[in-house]
Chains A and B, each alone.
Chain A
């Protein structure tokens, strides 16, 4: 009984707090504290869920007491529990960063309730065991993200959110078509039930078509090649806190859904799907990093990096071996932290220099030594330099590729890692190292202190990265166990459908 409460708590907490927040007096502090407390409790719930799943195996809950294939199912395996925990931690980071950076007028508005709805939607997508329900949670999350993107209503944000919204809605149409077709063919949308039914269907070609629909829909949400163009067009416009939240959670839901669907449901034609995923992953890596190399706006550059890192994830998913899935999960966790740290730092540098344009910056290394260190560590980690978390994650991906004899992917991963390092060094050189541009008389900026609250979240993220790097062993062990659960759906099916295998 207590366990099933744990499964529904993340959504209840977030959505309940969002509703309460909207009812609360429209001042900054009650909403801010409510959001902070909710994120702390979400992280605690996530940790408890992870411990429970680790100890007692996959947990499931039938909402409303309807037996498995008929009602709405919530399931937590190690991957979802881990992701809920990370979501809580990221939510906490972003909320405390917003409290330090956003003007009080914004905080008093609908900002925190929207963040809570978004986080609730993300948790729902991670925990649901039903495809239509997954669609609904993705819409909840997207709805909140549309508003967050356009909240300041500046012209560039309006343009960005119209683009982002039209493409997301198109993705949702494709997803809904896929869900409808699948229900027509299999008569069920419960993931565990599908895992049992789909291999027995006598229409393998239809299943291939449906799986391609899912691939397109989720690849669009994840920002994979060739469907990524909405991402760099929109992610650089909102405040840094919002971009951090988006980069940490939104595209990850797409990747998670891909992993779920292609390990559990569409496993009957692995040759086709894994080849497609591998090609998609390789091209995503390359186009993302090449786009990043060409950029001179700090956040645009970082947005393109989101895409190239998504490529690593999709390629790892395409290999479908236990080692590759372990690498997939370790990389996912590392990357959420590394990317968020970079976006948070970009917000902090913008606070000092009032610009995101790398040409306009310079000499931050002298004036902001701590900030420079806080950029340097996640940048190296993202590029995959030891001893930070990125090294082990990337190494795991490349090792898995070598072991599965996907030489091209392994080579691409190495080259893209080098290009990532190159573009990170570009930011380093332009923003932190070079002399400031001469035409701008720069008043010597006051070094950011811990009291500003901007550096705290950055430090926390960087610490995570160092800890995950030095103590990579437990993470890889956990990822390995989670990969085992992904590869062997039997436990998942048993947890959801009970005795019926």
Chain B
């Protein structure tokens, strides 16, 4: 399972970085989505895929007995998803606005347009 997830994480990172190198802003945004998901999976994998109980102390005991699933990485991922989601929504609004203003989503075109408008 770990091996499978490790390969998935690597694939997601590779796809994300590939998208970042393209000249379309929408693809760059997609690349960032992929990188975000890859990171979340990475946190999940690296912290141990423990198949076990929820981390609740059973009645009559003082401490947890292993195996139990560590809730902290899951809390991290949850927070990271929320943050990522919000910022990506913002980025998409920006992309939309830029496309409205310039009629293109190509980063190179955006730059040449700028130069034209200055002259």
Contacts and interface: CB of A to CB of B under 8 A. Distances in A.
B39 A177 contact: yes
Interface in A171-187: 172-173, 176-177, 179-181, 183-184
Interface of A: 132, 136, 139, 142-143, 146-147, 150, 153, 155-156, 158-159, 161-162, 165-166, 169-170, 172-173, 176-177, 179-181, 183-184
A183 B76 contact: yes
Contacts of A150: 94, 97
B62 interface: no
Contacts of B90: 143, 146-147, 165
A173 B73 CA distance: 15
A183 B72 contact: yes
A170 B25 CA distance: 14
Given A139-B83, A143-B90, A183 B32 contact: no
Interface string B80-105: 10010011001100110110011000
B97 A183 contact: no
A173 B117 contact: no
The 7 closest A-B pairs by CB, nearest first: A180-B43, A184-B46, A158-B98, A173-B35, A184-B47, A139-B83, A176-B39
20 contacts: A132-B76, A139-B83, A139-B87, A146-B87, A146-B91, A150-B97, A153-B101, A155-B98, A155-B101, A156-B114, A158-B102, A162-B91, A166-B91, A172-B87, A173-B36, A173-B39, A180-B43, A180-B47, A181-B46, A183-B43
A177 B25 CA distance: 24
B94 A176 contact: no
Given A159-B110, A165-B91, A166-B28, 8 more contacts: A132-B79, A146-B91, A155-B98, A155-B102, A158-B102, A159-B98, A172-B87, A183-B73
Interface of B: 20, 25, 28-29, 32, 35-36, 38-39, 42-43, 46-48, 72-73, 76, 79-80, 83, 86-87, 90-91, 94-95, 97-98, 101-102, 107, 110-111, 113-114, 117
Nearest to B91: A165
Nearest to B79: A136
Contacts of A146: 87, 90-91, 94
Given A169-B32, A176-B43, A155 B117 contact: yes
A184 B114 contact: no
Q: Which of B42, B80, B97 has the most CB of A within 10 A?
A: B80
A175 to B, nearest CB: 9
A146 B83 CA distance: 14
Contacts of B114: 155-156, 159
Q: Which of A150, A155, A158 has the most CB of B within 10 A?
A: A158
Contacts of B36: 169, 173
Contacts of B107: 162
Contacts of B20: 166, 170
B66 to A, nearest CB: 13
Contacts of B79: 132, 136
Contact of A165 (B47, B73, B94): B94
A159 B111 contact: yes
A184 B6 CA distance: 14
A153 B98 CA distance: 8
Nearest to A143: B87
Contacts of B48: 184
Nearest to A158: B98
Contacts of A147: 90
A176 B101 contact: no
Nearest to B90: A146
Contacts of B25: 162
A389 B35 CA distance: 43
Nearest to B47: A184
Contacts of B111: 159
Contacts of A183: 43, 46-47, 72-73, 76
Contacts of A161: 94
A173 B17 CA distance: 12
B17 to A, nearest CB: 9
A162 B117 contact: no
A162 B87 contact: no
A142 B83 CA distance: 11
A160 to B, nearest CB: 10
B20 to A, nearest CB: 7
A139 to B, nearest CB: 5
A180 B42 CA distance: 7
A161 B93 CA distance: 12
A132 B94 CA distance: 27
Given A147-B90, A159-B111, A162-B95, A176 B80 contact: yes
B76 A180 contact: yes
Contacts of A179: 43, 76
Contacts of B42: 177, 180-181
Contacts of B38: 173
B24 to A, nearest CB: 11
A169 to B, nearest CB: 5
A180 B75 CA distance: 11
B101 A158 contact: yes
B87 A158 contact: no
Nearest to A156: B114
A132 B80 CA distance: 10
Nearest to B35: A173
B105 to A, nearest CB: 10
Contacts of B101: 153, 155, 158
Contacts of A153: 97, 101
A7 B4 CA distance: 45
